[in-house]
Amino acid sequence: MSERPPRNKPAANRRDALKSLSLGALMFGGASTAQAAQNDCKAVVAPEWAKGVEGQRKPDLGNGYFLNPLVAGDHPDPTILKDGEDYYMTFSTFEAYPGLVIWHSRDLVNWRPLTASLTKNIGAVWAPELTKHKGRFYLYIPTKKTDAPDSKTTSWVIWADNIMGPWSEPIDLNLTRHIDPGHAVGEDGSRWLFLSGGDRIRLSDDGLSTVGAVEHVYDPWRYPDDWDVEGFSPEGPKITRHGDYYYLITAVGGTAGPPTGHMVIAARSKSINGPWEHHPKNPLVRTESLSEKWWSRGHATLVEGPAGDWWSVYHGYENGFWTLGRQTLLAPVTWTNDGWFEFGGGDLSQPIKKPAGGKAHGHEPAHGYALSDDFREDRYGVQWNFFAPKPDEASRIRRENGVLHLKATGEAPSSSSPLVCVTGDQAYEFECEIEIDDGAWAGLLLWYDRQLYCGLGFNAKNFITHQYGIERGRPANPHGKRLHMRVRNDRHIVSYFTSNDGVNWKRFDRGMEVSGYHHNVRGGFHMLKPGFYAAGKGEVRFKNFKYKAL
Return the closest-CA partner of residue 21 out of 5, 34, 3: 34
pLDDT of residue 181: 98
CB 288 within 8 A of CB 298: no
Instruction: Using alpha carbons only, give the angle 296, 301, 307 rounded to the nearest 5 degrees.
Output: 125
Q: Which residues are within 8 A (CB) of 136 and not within 5 positions of it... i.e. 6 or more apart? A: 159, 160, 161, 207
Q: First vs last Cα of the chain: how many Å apart?
A: 34
CATH of the domain at 241: 2.115.10.20
Q: Are residues 430 and 544 in the same domain?
A: yes
Query: Looking at the structure, do residues 150 and 287 belong to the same domain, yes or no?
Result: yes
- Please indicate, yes or no, whether residues 15 and 34 belong to a single structural domain of this protein: yes
Give the three-state DSSP class for 380: strand
Distance CA 435, CA 315 (A): 40
- Tell me: do 149 and 236 sit in the same domain: yes
Separation between Cα atoms, residue 261 and residue 196, nearest integer Å? 17
The three-state secondary structure class of 127 is coil
Asked if residue 299 and residue 184 are part of one domain, the reply reads yes
What SS3 state is found at 350? coil
Q: How many domains does the chain have?
A: 3
Q: Which residues contact 513 (CB under 8 A, 6 or more apart)?
A: 492, 493, 494
CATH no. for residue 394? Answer: 2.60.120.200
- Please tell me the predicted confidence (pLDDT) of residue 437: 98
Instruction: Kindly tell me the burial class for residue 76, based on how many C-beta atoms sit within 10 Å of its own C-beta (0-12, 13-18, 19 or more).
Output: buried
Could you list the pLDDT tens digit for every one of the 550 residues in the chain?
Answer: 444 443 333 333 333 333 333 323 322 233 333 333 333 334 445 578 899 999 999 999 999 999 999 999 999 999 999 999 999 999 999 999 999 999 999 999 999 999 999 999 999 999 999 999 999 999 999 999 766 556 689 999 999 999 999 999 999 999 999 999 999 999 999 999 999 999 999 999 999 999 999 999 999 999 999 999 999 999 999 999 999 999 999 999 999 999 999 999 999 999 999 999 999 999 999 999 999 999 999 999 999 999 999 999 999 999 999 999 999 999 999 999 999 999 999 999 999 999 999 998 888 889 999 999 999 999 999 999 999 999 999 999 999 999 999 999 999 999 999 999 999 999 999 999 999 999 999 999 999 999 999 999 999 999 999 999 899 988 899 999 999 999 999 999 999 999 999 999 999 999 999 999 999 999 999 999 999 999 999 999 999 999 999 9
Parallel/antiparallel/unpaired status of strands 505-513 and 452-458: unpaired
Single out the residue of 216, 221, 275 nearest to residue 245, CA to CA. 275
**Quick one: pLDDT at residue 152?**
82
Same domain membership, residue 268 and residue 168: yes
Angle at 312 between CA 96 and CA 363, to 5 degrees: 60
Q: Do 267 and 154 belong together in one domain?
A: yes
Last residue of a domain, one of 353, 373, 399: 353
Among 455, 458, 436, 433, which residue's Cα sits nearest to residue 445? 455
Based on the domain organization, do 168 and 248 belong to the same domain? yes
Q: Which domain holds residue 498?
A: 385-549
Quick one: 210 and 326 in the same domain?
yes
* Amino acid at residue number 120: K
Write the single-letter amino acid at 438.
D
pLDDT of residue 149: 59
* 73 lies in the same domain as 18: no
Q: Say if 345 falls within a structural domain.
A: yes
C-alpha distances (whole Å) from 17 to each of 9, 424, 455 are: 14, 22, 31
Predicted pLDDT of residue 46: 52
Same domain? For 347 and 404 the reply is: no
